[in-house]
Structure 1
Amino acid sequence: MWVMTGCQDLIDPAIENIQGREDMLERPRLAQGLLINAYLRIPTNGWSFSEMATDDAVSNNPTNQFLNMATGQWASNNNPVNQWTGAQSAIQYLNVMIEDVDSVDFAVDPIVNQMFVDRLKGESYGLRALFMYYLLQAHGGMADGQLLGVPILEQSQNVESDFNIPRNTFEECMNQLYADAERAMDLLPYDLANITDPSLIPSKYASQGAETGQYNRVFGDDAIQLVSGRIVNAVMAQAALLAASPAFNPNGDTEKWRAAAEHAADILNTIGGVSGLAPNGVTWFANTSELNAIGGGVNPAEVLWRTSIGSSNNLEADNYPPTLFGNGLINPTQNFVDAFPMANGFPIDESSSAYDPQNPYAGRDPRLNHFVVVNGSTAGPNNTVITTAIDGTTNDALNRVETSTRTGYYLRKLLRQDVNLNPNSTNQQVHMKPRIRYTEIFLIYAEAANEAYGPMGTGTAGFSAYDVIRAIRQRAGIGAENGDAYLESIKGDQAAMRELIRNERRIELSFEGFRFWDLRRWDASLTETARGMTIEEGDHEVMPVENRVYADHMIYGPVPYSETLKFTELKQNTGW
């Protein structure tokens, strides 16, 4: 693999064992190593659980970085969600790749070689767009009354480069992202997969006499899970939603919402629109037969893009309750539990909900049981009863030991219940880490379409925000007995539909790294106290657990303090 240890080594590599750009031109595997370095820096390669810095969860580990962040220690020199270094490093690798890939010989066959050049260049542009999205999400913000992004770097940097350059505007960065995405989509097929029909070979290759075997060698099954046109389209939808959101669209430009809706619709219409919603998508992490059968780069219907699969028990070791030999790390809050409606579809604070505060888990949205371990739930391979009540007799009880829950709840989502952590019979199971799920794309469409066209408007997609939310709630098992009367009652109310869409997003994408960023782009309250449930002698009482300490300016993240010290042209976001 090509390793970049410093700007000087990039141009004049040290003699020992560092490969430089001239070596790369002669050795294709070194060139591909540039892309590998970028892929390895994708933030969603692993779980971060920034939810513990929001109203959705707390940590039972007092040294947890997100606990510290949420309770007043977030600073420009102490930023657990910093993307600056990793993303900028990735972009440097990608820029070198873009500049040099045309000069690398990947195959003796000239047609195959051109296909490799196009694919690798397309991947590079697509990844550069992806990293721009993460940079804008984490570091875009207001500085001196102007909405700024990050410095745009289209060329690789070297020892002679001027590093002291200002941040481009947020709008300029979005334009750059879109331009890179369009370049990628021009070079890549929409999906990477083997073909048997020669008519599917793009004309630019067919005109040179390309055959299916040549095409499949480059763009076929072996390339699945690399960046494709579909993935780039999804990145455009994600970025467009960010740009349309209140924190980054203070004037409420409807065209930005329309753009986000259209990018999402472009993807959803390739799977049949609303009818393409995966029936088992709610429990994608627990569909054991499906997970165990995954291989060869194939995705379940719910998953648009994922990392490699593998067997492990790390999530369970971190988050199982103590009686299941886990550390109970992530504790969902009462705030999060309250977000689940009743099975009849009504929010629990609506008079028609029939919610009983002293029997709070009865008759609820079925997703609550899929995602959260509540008092009296069963969990683990032996269906162990988990008692979180303060007068419970096990270490699962509220605040009993350091690995006990602080809120009265344990995490179930993402965990496989057939993992056994008993030291006498420990096992591992297959896990999958999605980078993008189709449910996210459906929710992007619903949010953007509601703002652009209203709850019932369809734009050019042929379906509405209402249609999407109805399908998502039906899949979850909501409103089966009453036709989802609550949804029907608000389908003409844009503001009410906005709140419902946000709530559905909160539930469906929970603990997948969205809530922290969603609250900020919505310019919503960050300071809602995290609450829990104390249960004693059957009496249920809501209690405060952890204050959230955020200032108003923290809807935007900081530029790293060390960078502003080094470069005088780099403006810090206001308040940091």
Structure 2
Amino acid sequence: MKHNNKITNRLRKSILPIATSFMALLALESCSSDFLDVVPDNVATIENAFKLRNEAEKYLYTCYSYLPKDGSIYHNTGFLAGDEMWIPYQTSIYSDSFEIARGSQRISNPFVNVWDGNYTGGGPSDRYKMYIGIRHCNIFLENLNDLTKVPDINFAERQRWIGEVEFLKAYYHFYLLRMYGPIPLADKNIDIDAPENEINVKRQPVDECVTFITNLLDAATEKLPNDNEIISTTEAGRITKTIALSVKAKVLLMAASPLFNGNNDFAALTNKDGTKLFNPTYDQNKWKLASDAALAAIESAEANAKSLYVFPQSPFTLTAGTMTQMSIRQAVCERWNSEIIWGNPNSQTSELQQLCMAPLDVNHNHNDARKILSPPLKIARMFYSKNGVPINEDKTLDFTDEKELRTATNDERFNIKAGFQTARINFDREPRFYADLCFDGGVWYKYDSPSKTDDGTVWGLKGKFGDPAGATHAFHTNETGYFVKKLVDWNQVTGTTGGSVYKAYAWPEIRLAELYLMYAEALNESEGPSEVVYEYLDRIRTRAGLAGVVQSWTDYSNNPSKPSTQSGLRDIIQQERLIELAFEGHRFWDLRRWKKAAEVLNTPITGWNVKGVDALSYYQVRTVYQQTFVAPRDYFWPIPESAMIQNPNLVQNLGW
């Protein structure tokens, strides 16, 4: 019997061969969820792992356990590898992703190396090597498709499990494709005794990778249950038809986008046999495929009672504006709410909330509310004016001098503490600005506000040096003067004598709002502006307390015809997506697939002077860091240097 440690040594061949022993599974680290991270106990061989349903089910959960923990600041690359949130460097926490944001990526043991090495913040771990996850999926599928194995499982459940693992296998390939571009496809595990020409695999063209992934998702969809067939209390997070359809839409949207569709920047990337890995010819039909897939996912979601989340009436007396903000915030934070298409219970969010939350009182402990996740000024500028248009387009409001000091009136008290002096940029903004962000003088309404209403004694943030949320702590410092409110559940309670309670929620991998945005984007690219595109954008805007796109641009924009052109509507859709999905890890990937990263990520990270002790000194723009993004190199990860040396058939991404 050949052991898994021998197989692991063959990782140098780039894709791990088939396992013929199960001993190494006992060493896999334990994760936080009892549901999704169960490893078979006392199982010596693969044959024994599939003799009975009980042990096979544990192997199913092992396949699930490779899903990245995207609710963790360490494991969601999109949080800190781009420009959406900044942190104090190497003080409060350390993140491999943040090294990418700082331009430190490398080919020797790359940061966030899910090919064969380290992952964000966690050090070397098999748990975050995608090809090992794929290997386990292949082992599972080979055995479950053999009807002589696991005789005590019924046919319907066997098919469901196969569908779940086909989905996971597809998702892990998608994860790699998004990071590395063209990848080797691991449809079958390679035997450890296979000849070297079979083990030294090649990268496959992007279009072939996309077809492989979507075919797997199609096969999985046929076997998976509908959402209403899931037992929510015990099976929340298990893959359903709607989840598979939604991920297919994400894959096809990415494949239709400029980074992958007709990208001449990568025309020179070929295998050693001359095979082109990127098709340099633009294909308009890819957008049609993406729009069709998004619509299919939406129809499945809505048929299963999914809807945009609206905050319910509560025993507290809340104004309409606060209710709108709570709908925006809790669409992410409310556990298993109606908008969640795919929540990952293997990724809980207590620590993430702690890193967002700010001390709102002099007695609040900076260790319990670390407030280090700091959106730059460019992110604050990104949100619309209260009229639902970009602040540089609003013809009725002047944001030219963004640091001009202004005092909040009593009418503005639900967003900014009345009588507080803060910067002009913090006034006259859309509800999502106030729902997602907090700032010096900003209101942070939550369950433990001293009043049972949003009027009067609600929490107000004070962020100047020496204030409760100021940059006085040796480690836990906000770098920009903006704080992430969106990711903190409103049930958060901070004790005045120390100690905080955070209500953890499963990380929402996909929300219905994202499906609407995917459909609007793909439909505009395939057919141009239409009433249908406006409709799906306006569904999101209505929940956000804004008028429709056409009405807002007609009434308030200095470019009123913008929504009527494909390029103008493209800009609107992209900004709408960046706003609606802010701080959920999407911006990092969207800037890449749109080929906008070279433009956006070469601008400085700026914020307020957090060492300022009064309004005049605090509201000065400070450069926190000058980012650099080298195109086309930085659009994709480098393949680890060790893998390149050990597999002569691999070719490196351009620029590395």
**TM interval, short-chain normalised:** 0.7 to 0.9
Equivalent position of 2:14 in the other structure = none
Equivalent position of 1:92 in the other structure = 135
Equivalent position of 1:466 in the other structure = 534
C-alpha distance 444-80 of structure 1, shift in aligned 2 (>3 A): farther
Contact 2:341 2:512 in 1 (8 A): yes
Contact 1:343 1:366 in 2 (8 A): yes
Quote the Cα distance in structure 1 between the aligned partners of 2:574 and 2:111: 25
Q: Secondary structure at the match of 2:260?
A: coil
Equivalent position of 1:35 in the other structure = 60
C-alpha distance 14-354 of structure 1, shift in aligned 2 (>3 A): closer
Quote the Cα distance in structure 1 between the aligned partners of 2:646 and 2:232: 45
Contact 2:4 2:23 in 1 (8 A): no
Select which of 304, 308, 323 maps to 1:278. Answer: 308
What's the CA shift for 1:284? 6.2
Quote the Cα distance in structure 2 between the aligned partners of 1:481 and 1:151: 43
Quote the Cα distance in structure 2 between the aligned partners of 1:188 and 1:311: 25
C-alpha distance 567-310 of structure 1, shift in aligned 2 (>3 A): closer
What's the CA shift for 1:518? 1.1
Equivalent position of 2:602 in the other structure = 527
Q: Does 1:68 align with 2:107?
A: no
What's the CA shift for 1:117? 1.7
In the TM superposition, 1:158-169 aligns within 5 A as: 158-161=191-194, 162-169=198-205
Equivalent position of 2:156 in the other structure = 115
The amino acid across from 1:24 in the alignment is A
Contact 1:53 1:67 in 2 (8 A): yes
Select which of 621, 628, 631 maps to 1:542. Answer: 621
What's the CA shift for 1:287? 3.5
The amino acid across from 1:66 in the alignment is S
Task: Write 1 or 2 for the structure with the bigger share of helix.
Answer: 1
Structure 1 gaps of 5+ residues are: 141-148, 195-218, 457-462
In the TM superposition, 1:348-497 aligns within 5 A as: 348-356=391-399, 357=402, 358=404, 359-379=424-444, 381-382=448-449, 383-389=458-464, 392-394=465-467, 396-397=469-470, 401-422=474-495, 424-456=498-530, 464-479=532-547, 483-485=551-553, 489-497=561-569
What's the CA shift for 1:506? 1.0
What's the CA shift for 1:425? 4.7
Select which of 31, 46, 51 maps to 1:21. Answer: 46
Q: Secondary structure at the match of 2:564?
A: coil
Quote the Cα distance in structure 2 between the aligned partners of 1:238 and 1:452: 16
Quote the Cα distance in structure 1 between the aligned partners of 2:590 and 2:163: 29
Quote the Cα distance in structure 2 between the aligned partners of 1:168 and 1:480: 43
4+ residue runs over 4 A deviation: 3-6, 12-18, 104-108, 219-224, 281-286, 309-312, 398-401
What's the CA shift for 1:182? 1.6
Contact 1:193 1:224 in 2 (8 A): no
Quote the Cα distance in structure 2 between the aligned partners of 1:349 and 1:537: 28
Q: Does 1:46 align with 2:71?
A: yes
Q: Secondary structure at the match of 1:261?
A: helix
C-alpha distance 523-386 of structure 1, shift in aligned 2 (>3 A): same
1:265-284 Cα offsets, whole Å, 9 max, x none, are: 012123559x9751438756
Q: Does 1:341 align with 2:369?
A: no
1:256-297 Cα offsets, whole Å, 9 max, x none, are: 111111100012123559x97514387568549993xx5xxx
What's the CA shift for 1:385? 2.5
Q: Does 1:567 align with 2:647?
A: yes
Select which of 83, 88, 101 maps to 2:114. Answer: 83
Q: Does 1:174 align with 2:210?
A: yes
Quote the Cα distance in structure 1 between the aligned partners of 2:548 and 2:526: 29
TM (normalized to structure 1)?
Answer: 0.83
Equivalent position of 1:193 in the other structure = 229
Equivalent position of 2:586 in the other structure = 514
Structure 2 gaps of 5+ residues are: 9-17, 27-41, 117-128, 263-280, 312-324, 405-423, 450-457
Contact 1:49 1:511 in 2 (8 A): no
1:50-91 Cα offsets, whole Å, 9 max, x none, are: 333323221123344333222221123354433324221111
Contact 1:25 1:103 in 2 (8 A): no
Quote the Cα distance in structure 2 between the aligned partners of 1:79 and 1:442: 35
The amino acid across from 1:84 in the alignment is W
Q: Which moved more, 1:90-99 or 1:24-33?
A: 24-33
The amino acid across from 1:433 in the alignment is W
C-alpha distance 439-283 of structure 1, shift in aligned 2 (>3 A): farther
C-alpha distance 279-490 of structure 1, shift in aligned 2 (>3 A): farther
Quote the Cα distance in structure 1 between the aligned partners of 2:589 and 2:389: 26
Contact 1:57 1:530 in 2 (8 A): no
Quote the Cα distance in structure 1 between the aligned partners of 2:219 and 2:240: 12
What's the CA shift for 1:319? 2.3
C-alpha distance 411-6 of structure 1, shift in aligned 2 (>3 A): farther
Contact 1:257 1:451 in 2 (8 A): yes
The amino acid across from 2:589 in the alignment is W
Q: Which moved more, 1:333-342 or 1:15-24?
A: 15-24
Equivalent position of 1:204 in the other structure = none
Equivalent position of 2:189 in the other structure = 156
Contact 1:311 1:428 in 2 (8 A): no
Q: Secondary structure at the match of 2:509?
A: strand
The amino acid across from 1:186 in the alignment is E
TM (normalized to structure 2)?
Answer: 0.73
How many matched pairs? 524
What's the CA shift for 1:483? 3.8
What's the CA shift for 1:556? 1.8
Q: Secondary structure at the match of 2:112?
A: coil
Contact 1:181 1:236 in 2 (8 A): yes
What's the CA shift for 1:39? 1.0
Q: Which moved more, 1:177-186 or 1:41-50?
A: 41-50
Amino-acid identity (%):
24
Q: Which moved more, 1:466-475 or 1:163-172?
A: 466-475
Equivalent position of 1:235 in the other structure = 247
